[in-house]
Every structure is written in structure tokens, then in C-alpha cells.
């Protein structure tokens, strides 16, 4: 079952290990990984903190306002001090489960990639990927029309959208200059 509340303490070691502008290795992600050893795929941005717990649930917490300030300050290069915060009331993310057609297509693609790589061991990764994609498309064509490779099983309320689409956080100049002395 998902946790209702998580108390996180950011230490000096977390600050030293953290990487600027990185959603997976930022100060909060380092502290959360230390606090919850079974958490993985930790992703932190100014809107949400997401991770998968040991039970396989994708938990999404809204980023507390004070933590947003620390994340922005750290990414801007400002020195920050250790702090603590609590995460409450998680949103349980949607789980994707593969259908039989999706599993069959994925297995066929993997077998095709392996066979192609075995036949041509010096082949470039792009060629191997193309062979796997072709096998996947062929297997999907065999499936019943209208079936998809995965079904989305909704749990709880709708998840919050991600602010950043990749691992690297980017801020406009305005975001970094809020509350700065002129």
C-alpha cells in the first residue's frame, strides 16, 4: 500500500552529491533515495516529485512550495543549507499492462534483434534497432485490428502533467530572477 506521508531530510552529503539541472540526481532526489531505499525511478521537478516504490506503485507528490525554491536556487548555483520537508497525499500513477498481442510483438522484436545481431555481430546499433522495429510491426500486423500493445489501467485520480519532458531541467531567465535583488 502507498505511504500517506514521507518525511525527507536533505543533508550536506546530499547537496555535495547532487547534480545541477538534473531531475534524477538533484538534491531532493538524492535525499529521497537515501530516505526510501526501495524507491527507484525518482524524478523531481518544480511541480511534482515522482518515484516508484518497492511494491511497483508509481507515486506522485506535489512539490511543496518551499522545496521548489530550494530546487531553483540549487540549479541557479546558489549555495543552499540542509533542510527538511514532508510529502503528503500521493497520487498513484497509472499502470501500463501489456496485452497478449503486445507481449507477443515485443518478444518477436527481441528475437529478431538477437538473431540479427548473431548473424551480423559487427552491425551498427541502428541496424539492429531497425530490424527489431520491423519485426515488431510485422507482429502487430498479425494482431487483431483495433487491439493495442498495452492497456492503461487507471488508479486513483488523474496524474499531474510533467513540467519537463526530459532529464534536464531548463528555466527561463525570469524564473531564476524571481526574488533576486536587483
The residue assigned the cell 548473424 is 119
pLDDT tens, N- to C-terminus, the chain (182 residues):
556 789 999 999 999 999 888 888 889 999 999 999 999 899 998 889 999 888 888 899 999 999 999 998 888 888 899 999 999 999 888 766 677 777 877 787 778 777 777 777 776 766 767 776 777 667 666 665 555 555 444 444 555 555 555 666 665 554 445 555 55
Q: Would you list the domain boundaries of the chain?
A: 5-94+155-177, 97-152
What does the pLDDT read at residue 22?
85
Strands (E), 63-171: 83-88, 91-92, 95-98, 150-153
Q: Is the four-CA dihedral 51, 21, 172, 174 of positive or negative sign?
A: positive
pLDDT of residue 62: 93
pLDDT score for 174: 47
pLDDT at residue 101, as a whole number: 75
For residues 140 and 178, give the distance between their C-alpha atoms in angstroms, rounded to a whole number.
50
Cβ pair 170, 21 in contact under 8 A: yes
Q: Which helix (H) or strand (E) holds 10?
A: strand 5-10
Q: CA 50 to CA 62: how far, in whole Å?
A: 9
Amino acid at each position: 500500500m502507498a505511504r500517506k506521508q514521507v518525511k525527507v531530510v536533505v543533508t550536506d552529503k546530499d547537496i555535495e552529491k547532487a547534480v545541477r539541472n538534473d531531475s534524477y540526481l538533484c538534491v531532493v532526489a538524492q535525499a529521497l533515495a537515501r530516505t526510501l531505499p526501495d524507491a527507484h525511478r525518482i524524478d523531481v521537478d518544480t511541480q511534482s516529485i515522482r518515484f516508484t516504490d518497492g511494491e511497483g506503485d508509481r507515486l506522485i507528490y506535489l512539490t511543496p512550495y518551499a522545496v521548489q525554491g530550494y530546487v531553483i536556487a540549487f540549479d541557479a548555483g546558489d549555495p543552499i543549507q540542509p533542510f527538511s520537508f514532508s510529502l503528503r497525499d500521493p497520487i498513484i500513477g497509472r499502470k501500463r499492462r501489456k496485452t497478449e498481442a503486445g507481449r507477443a510483438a515485443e518478444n518477436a522484436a527481441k528475437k529478431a534483434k538477437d538473431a540479427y545481431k548473431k548473424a551480423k555481430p559487427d552491425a551498427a546499433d541502428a541496424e539492429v534497432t531497425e530490424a527489431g522495429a520491423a519485426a515488431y510491426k510485422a507482429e502487430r500486423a498479425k494482431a487483431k485490428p483495433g487491439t493495442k500493445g498495452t492497456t492503461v489501467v487507471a488508479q486513483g485520480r488523474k496524474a499531474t502533467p510533467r513540467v519537463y519532458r526530459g532529464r534536464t531541467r531548463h528555466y527561463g531567465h525570469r524564473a531564476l530572477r524571481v526574488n533576486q535583488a536587483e
